[in-house]
Copies of this chain bind each other. A is one copy, B any other.
Amino acid sequence: MNSAEYLKSLNDGRVTFFEGEKVDNIVEHPILGKAAQYLAQSYDQIQQIVAEEGESPFGFVPHSPDELRAFTKRQVELGMIFNVTYTSLQTLKTAASRLQQLDPVYRERIEAYSKYVVDNDLRVTQCITDGKGDRAKSPKDQRDPDAYLRVVERRPDGVVIRGAKLHISLASFGHELLVIPTKAMKPGEEDYSIACAVPVNAPGVKIMNVSFSPRVSDDRSFPHSSRVHQYVEGFVVFDDVFVPNDRIFLNGEQQFAGVFAHSLGLWERLAGLTEMAEEAEELLGLAQLISEANGIDKIAHVRIKISDLITYATLIRCTVEAAIAQCEVNEKGEVFPNELYTNAGKFYAADNFHAMTKHLHDLGGGSILTAPTPADFENSEFGPYAEKYMATKEGVSGAYRSQLFNAIRDVTADTQGGWRKVTHIQSGGGLFAQRIVMRKHYPMERAKARGLHAAGLDTEATAMLKPAAE
């Protein structure tokens, strides 16, 4: 498909909503349509890659640290709609090899479905997070049994599912929804142990959209979110949706429910961390540019804040490099980023993001909020004043400096800025969940051995002191 065909394909009867209204035509919708146009570009990008390189990036799997680095770079460039589809396909493949103990039919269905997606050049988004109800309770103990998506009916030809999946990026902009359990399930939660694929326009699927695009008449005052950030999040309801057997990839084998989410994690994590590294450098660049434009870049306290941003960007970059250098390899020779290092990087990036935006706010000043917009500069009566009073030293025009302020506001102090803050903290399950992952992957016995050595408790003379269990 090219971009035009993609846009046409979205008009397939899907049921979507926006701010309380049903959306008749996504492409023509004033806000969602902009997102669709933006996302369509990646179809053309990929056609060009295929033309140049002879093969589709969907088929590529890295087999060395260098290939891993190069492919991650491409993932970041091709944007989210490519990524979610690519990681969906890889996730299914990885999960298949882990489900070998089960009925071989799952494996065959996964292969057939993957072929169908590639052959038809479809886009697949990932439906993971459930409504969840009371966080203090398990799926099976919820007041409303649908708080986690589940099978409500089993038929010879398939199953009927009910539930909701939240925070589904671009749900209304793909063709397929890959539905997987949000976490490992317990005995008694067989109905919640369902993985399957559902067309976006299947009867019973209803999607409520939230957009973070600017609402002003003139997009130029949001230079970042109006151009490169067109994320729309979906609240996807499955109201008794029938799924035929050939689209079911797990069906009640509770002890395997966690396989899909874990397989997904392997494939998506490095691209996310790399984006964080680039965003960190973007913050640094904006901080340095606005300091120069304000004429304060030589002042000591400014340099200290710039140094903090350098440290931030560099440490994240170090975790990317370490995750690649110490990558893990599976039995087929495919490489995956190191899990401990990737998680440490994401945690650090998220944990310090708010503090870094504080620095940017401190360096920029109140004009982050109050700088004139491009439209103000074009107003014949007020524009000349905007230029006169926003200009600083030789070479720094008012329009240039104001646009830096507009970018900083857009990226850190407006709708998009809020989106980033919350998303950084929440991606990967929240800071606390990331701590748990790190704890799981840290070689703690090595650390304890070092501690015993420091205490002189690893010598023969002290052997009898050590707890037996150690």
With both chains docked as a complex, state the minimum distance between the C-beta of A119 and any C-beta of chain B, in angstroms.
Answer: 33
Q: Chain B contacts of A451 at CB under 8 A?
A: 282, 284-289, 404, 407
Task: Render A435-454 as a binary contact track against B, CB cut-off 8 A, 1 for contact.
Answer: 11011001010111111111
CB pair A425 B361 closer than 8 Å: yes
Report if A318-B341 is in contact (Cβ < 8 Å); known contacts: A223-B456, A407-B456, A442-B310: yes
The reply on A51 being an interface residue by CB < 8 A is no
* A52 interface residue (CB < 8 Å to B): no
Q: Shortest CB–CB separation between residue A323 and chain B, in angstroms?
A: 8
Chain B CB within 8 A of A314 CB? yes
Q: A147 contacts which chain B residues (CB < 8 A)?
A: 389, 392
Shortest CB distance A456–B (Å): 4
Residues of B contacting A321 with CB < 8 Å? 318, 321-322, 325-326, 341
A406 and B456 alpha carbons, distance in the complex (Å): 10
Q: How far is the CA of A376 from the CA of B209 in the complex (A)?
A: 10
Instruction: List residues 407-462 of chain A with CB under 8 A from any CB of chain B.
Output: 407, 409, 411-415, 417-419, 421-423, 425-426, 430-432, 435-436, 438-439, 442, 444, 446-457, 462
Are the CB atoms of A314 and B340 closer together than 8 Å?
Answer: yes
Q: What is the oligomeric copy number?
A: 4
Nearest CB of B to A430, in Å: 6
Contacts of A129 in B (CB 8 A): 366
Q: How far is the CA of A404 from the CA of B451 in the complex (A)?
A: 8
Judge whether B415 and A206 touch: CB under 8 Å.
Answer: no
In the complex formed, the residue of B with least CB distance to A15 is B381
Do B358 and A357 touch (CB < 8 A)? no
A357 and B452 contacting across the interface, CB-CB below 8 Å: no
Complex: how many Å from CA A3 to CA B399?
A: 39
For A376, give its contact among B208, B379, B396 (CB under 8 Å): B208
The verdict on A220 contacting chain B, using a C-beta distance below 8 Å, is: yes
Q: Which 9 A-B pairs have the closest CB atoms?
A: A285-B451, A20-B375, A300-B300, A413-B418, A407-B455, A321-B322, A223-B456, A131-B389, A285-B447
29 cross-chain CB contacts under 8 A: A19-B218, A20-B375, A20-B376, A132-B392, A135-B295, A146-B389, A147-B389, A147-B392, A164-B385, A208-B372, A208-B376, A237-B385, A293-B467, A301-B304, A304-B435, A311-B438, A320-B322, A321-B321, A321-B326, A353-B358, A354-B354, A358-B421, A362-B425, A362-B431, A368-B422, A397-B465, A403-B462, A413-B417, A413-B418
A86 adjacent to chain B (CB < 8 Å)? no
Does A103 have its Cβ within 8 Å of any Cβ on chain B?
Answer: no
Tell whether A347 is near chain B: CB-to-CB under 8 Å.
yes
Q: Known A19-B216, A20-B375, A354-B355; judge A344-B318 contact (CB<8 A).
A: yes
Given A389-B131, A414-B415, A450-B285, A354 and B358 touching (CB < 8 A)?
yes
Contact of A58 with B by CB under 8 A = no
Q: How many Å lie between the Cα of A216 and that of B383 in the bound state? A: 27
> Could you give, for residues 184-211 of chain A, a 1 whenever the CB lies within 8 Å of some chain B CB and a 0 otherwise?
0000000000000000000000101010
Partner of A403, one of B166, B317, B394, B456: B456
**Quick check: B143 and A438 within 8 Å, CB to CB?**
no
The answer, yes or no, to whether A253 is at the interface (CB within 8 Å) is no
**Given A144-B391, A325-B325, residue A439 in contact with residue B310 (CB < 8 A):** yes
- What chain B residues lie within 8 Å of A419 (beta carbons)? 369, 413
Residues in B whose Cβ lies below 8 Å from that of A233 = 369-370
Q: Is the CB of A315 within 8 A of B307?
A: no
Q: Residue among A137, A208, A278 with the most chain B CB within 10 A?
A: A208
Enumerate chain B residues within 8 angstroms of A288, measured Cβ to Cβ: 444, 447-448, 451
Q: A383 vs B155: C-alpha distance in the bound complex, in angstroms?
A: 29
Question: Does A466 interact with chain B (Cβ within 8 Å)?
Answer: yes
Residues of chain B within 8 A of A421, CB atoms compared: 357-358, 361, 412-413
* Cα–Cα distance between A134 and B293 once the two chains are bound (Å): 8
A73 at the B interface (CB under 8 A): no
A22 to B391, CA, bound (A): 23
CB-defined contacts of A34 to chain B, threshold 8 Å: none
Which of these, B19, B284, B303, contacts A375 with CB under 8 Å?
A: B19
Q: Which of A208-227 contact B (CB under 8 A)?
A: 208, 210, 212, 215-218, 220-221, 223-224, 227
